[in-house]
Amino acid sequence: MLADILAGYVQVFQFDNLMYVALGTLIGVALGAFPGLDCTVGVALLLPITYGMTPVQAIMLLSALYGGGVYAGQIPAILFRVPGAPEAIMTTLDGYPMAQKGQAGKALGAGLVASVAGGLFGVIGLTFITPPLAEVALMFGPSEYAALGILGLTAIAFLGSKYPVKAVISGLFGLLFATVGMDPIVGAPRFTFGTTVLMGGINFVPAVIGLFAAAEVYNQIARGAAISKVDIGELKKRVRVQFPTLKEYWSLKWSNLRSALIGLGIGILPGVGATTAAVVGYSQAVQFSKEPEKFGTGILEGVMAPEVANNAAVGGAMVPLLSLGIPGSATTAVMLGAFLMHGLRPGPLLLIQQRPLVFAVFAAMALSNIFFFFMAFPTIQLFAHLKRIPYALLAVGILVFSAVGANALGDLNGMVMMFLFAILGFIMEKYHYAIAPMVLGLVLGPIIEPAFRRALMMQEYDLIGIVTRPVTGMLLIVSILMILVPILLRMRKSDSK
Amino acid sequence: MNAKGEMIISGTILLVACSLYFHVAAAFSQYKHHDLVGPALWPKIILFIVIILSGSLFIKNAFIFFKTQKLAQEVASPLEKEGAFMLGLVIILTLLYSLGLPYTGFLFSIICFQFFVLLILKVKKIPILIFYPLGLTLLIYMIFIKFLNITVPRGTGIFLTFSRLFY
């Protein structure tokens, strides 16, 4: 294990790879700091660009982007009370009041150290949890795999928790889209309507670019945001990052440790993600605090707790992806597409067949935390000077990158597919059908369907025999609970209203 | 939330489309020797659940609609109306871009596409209208054509001659 870890670092420290990690972190920081763009959009937009890279470089670039993106959301959250990414929403509560008190530099310094500490904690957890979990998963048969896929998909109830039924419908449509093309077992064409274009199925990359990137632009245009300007505020004074004293850090050690554990744990749960980790991390800090009334007034603990948690969740979210092949968040669902695009299938076998790659990803994620520590300073200065950015320029940039990226990977049909999915994504957003479950369905469909059908054949079509297998049964019960609990909670809430 | 729009989505589109797709999926069972776990099984399970769920959504929204139709309707703000008009134009432009790309080639069409989208989005500064599309096209050219060696359409006729100057 130690040798694998060292080999991972040796691989990352090769000049080319180092540059890709730095580039990924830089793009992540830039996107994360910009309100309206997040790391999921970034990963989706960069997918086609990774086509020309080796699989290791591609995955390292995207992993670094993920880490950098989650960190940088705190910059506008602290400076202007506008979270750059949803993960930074809790940081606004104490970060912005600190900025108003003239302590913006200190809040940014504390947030930066918290992000690095949380990120590194997440990577350590990822490094030591992934291999044993993958070994357990190696013992799984088709029925367990199908159940695991279903469990991953039921995370949709959490991903779209505001409208769980619609989230389930969205996820089911993802599964349905995944059935388009040749049947994986008997090779029969399905939903191709006689055209050869759909024989190969729906190309994941154009679909994801359309759903996440182009659809967001359509939404902003429809809301009228493209005519206006993204006002990210105005700062009167020059901001200098100041780090709190060691004594201040030491006094928050237990709060930060709890946040880190919460972040890692929540990150591992499929579908919950870094935003929830930040919310829970902040809540625990309030609960355990001797002076809870001070939260929200601008205190260090209120900045550090959510930042430790959301960055620890980044490493956590990679655990189910690398060990089980099940994405832990919307961003990792898109990253799963990157693995598939490069001919890699995440899951327990990845650790056997591509062990050096997996450990290189761990090392790259650790290193990206160090990189964004240094990249934060110029980014903060840049954002402190920005006042207004015309959204029209961003919109055109995203649309053009989306079109060319989809064209690059799927010829003209890919581009048409991307725009169709962009329109679909726009309609879904308008009517509150969450997009992430559809993407999860699209990536998990090819895992669940063949596993389910093989399990049925192996058990001689005895469905009861399948669901009563101990691990399968347990996973299915958890899946059912994950769907029912949010729906019942919502019904209870509306009843009490 | 607009219950009428919700009814159209959950009722008309989801229910009707899924029922039609269920009918299409049923035809997959012609592979008799794989009937039980054949190609139709999985899509039919999915479609069945979607039909049930969207049916329940439709009933719920119909109930809300008939109960509240006399109440104030959602009124779009002038900004949203303008936004919807712009979106319509951008989508039409996108369609034209997709259809015209094989004939006009990548470079010419991408510059025109950007220029017109900027115009639709009310960017009025001439230097931005000229230099932003050119700069972005140069970036895309370097990344996708030079670095990734992606094949992009060259167009026909005069556009082919123009494209050959660059790639």
In chain A, pLDDT over 90 holds for what percent of residues? 14
Are residues B94 and A419, on separate chains, in Cβ contact within 8 Å? yes
CA atoms of A399 and A426, how far apart (whole Å)? 14
Determine the average pLDDT of the residues in A21-34: 86
> What pLDDT is recorded for position B89?
92
Residue A424 has pLDDT above 90, yes or no: yes
Contacts of B83 in chain A (CB under 8 A): 221-227
Among the partner residues A390, A408, A415, nearest to B150 by beta-carbon distance: A408
Mean pLDDT of A224-240: 57
Q: Best mutation site among B12, B37, B145 for testing chain A: the one with the most A CBs within 10 Å?
A: B37
* Mean pLDDT comparison of A113-117, A431-435, A488-492, highest-scoring range: A113-117
Record: contact B121-A52, CB cut-off 8 A? no
Q: How far apart, in whole angstroms, are the C-alpha atoms of residue A408 and residue A417?
A: 13
Alpha helices in A252-354 (DSSP H): 253-268, 273-288, 300-324, 330-341, 350-353
Among the partner-chain residues A52, A401, A452, the one whose CB lies closest to the CB of B148 is A52
Measured in angstroms, the CA of B49 and the nearest CA of chain A are apart by: 8
Are A393 and B132 within 8 A, CB to CB?
Answer: yes
How far is Cα A71 from Cα A88, in angstroms, rounded to an integer?
8
Pick from B5, B37, B38: CB nearest A431: B5
CB contacts < 8 A (A, B): 165
Q: What is the mean pLDDT of residues A10-16?
A: 89
Nearest Cβ partner for B152 among A407, A416, A419 = A407
Instruction: Tell me the shortest Cα–Cα distance from B89 to chain A, in angstroms.
Output: 11
Q: In B, which residues are within 8 Å of A183 by CB distance? A: 28, 38-39
Answer whether A224 sits within 8 Å of B25, measured CB to CB. Answer: no
What is the C-alpha separation between A80 and A230, in angstroms, rounded? Answer: 12
In this prediction, residue B113 carries a pLDDT of 92
- CB-based contact A396 B101, cutoff 8 Å: no
Of B37, B53, B57, the CB nearest to A456: B37
Closest residue in A to B15 (Cα–Cα): A169
* Chain B: residue whose CA lies nearest to A163: B57
Strand A388-390 with A229-231, pairing? antiparallel
Residue of B nearest to A458 (CA): B37
Which residue of A lies nearest to B46 if distances are taken between CA atoms? A172
Residues A396, B132: C-beta atoms closer than 8 Å: yes
Among candidates A49, A165, A452 on the partner chain, residue whose Cβ is nearest the Cβ of B148: A49
Q: Does the structure show a pLDDT above 50 at A230?
A: no
pLDDT of residue A281: 86
Chain A partners within 8 Å of B143 (Cβ): 49
Give the confidence band of A191 by pLDDT, cuts at 50, 70, 90. confident
How is residue A216 written in tokens?
């967001």
Residue A449 C-alpha, separation from nearest chain B C-alpha, in angstroms: 7
Q: What is the ipTM of this complex?
A: 0.89
B46 CA: distance to closest CA in chain A (Å): 6
Which residue of B28, B123, B136 is in closest CB contact with A392? B123
Least confident of A68-72, A363-367, A424-428: A68-72
- Does the beta-carbon distance from A172 to B46 stay under 8 Å? yes
H/E segment holding residue A383: helix A355-385
The Cα A106–Cα A97 span in angstroms is 12
Q: Cβ contacts (< 8 Å) between B124 and chain A: which residues?
A: none
* Mean pLDDT, residues A354-378: 88
Return the higher-pLDDT residue of B141 and A86: B141
pLDDT at B159 over 50: yes
Out of A175, A392, A412, name the one closest to residue B118 (CB). A392
Overall average pLDDT of the A344-353 stretch? 84
**Average pLDDT value for chain A:** 83
Does residue A158 carry a pLDDT above 70?
A: no
User: A488-497, B31-40, B57-66, B121-130: lowest mean pLDDT where?
Assistant: B31-40
The whole-number pLDDT of residue B69 equals 63
Residue B2 pLDDT: 62
Please judge whether A415 and B149 are an interchain contact, meaning their C-beta atoms are less than 8 angstroms apart: no
What is the pLDDT averaged over residues A251-274? 84
What's the rounded mean pLDDT across residues B71-81? Answer: 63
Summarize the confidence of residues B119-148 as an average pLDDT: 87
pLDDT value at residue A232:
46
Beta-carbon count within 10 A of A423 CB: 16
Which residue pairs, CB below 8 angstroms and at least 24 apart, start in A458-461?
A458/A141, A458/A142, A458/A143, A459/A143, A461/B36, A461/B37
Concatenated DSSP letters of A421-448: HHHHHHHHHHTT--HHHHHHHHHHHHHH
In chain A, residues with a C-beta closer than 8 Å to the C-beta of B128 are 393
- Kindly indicate the confidence band of residue A117, based on its pLDDT and cuts at 50, 70 and 90: very high
Structure confidence at residue A154 (pLDDT):
76
The answer on pLDDT for A8 being more than 60 is: yes
| pLDDT greater at residue A11 or residue B64 | A11
Q: How do residues A455-477 score in pLDDT, each as one tens digit?
A: 888 877 777 888 888 888 888 88
pLDDT-wise least confident of A243-252, A295-304, A379-388, A416-425: A379-388
pLDDT band at A497 (very low <50, low <70, confident <90, very high): low
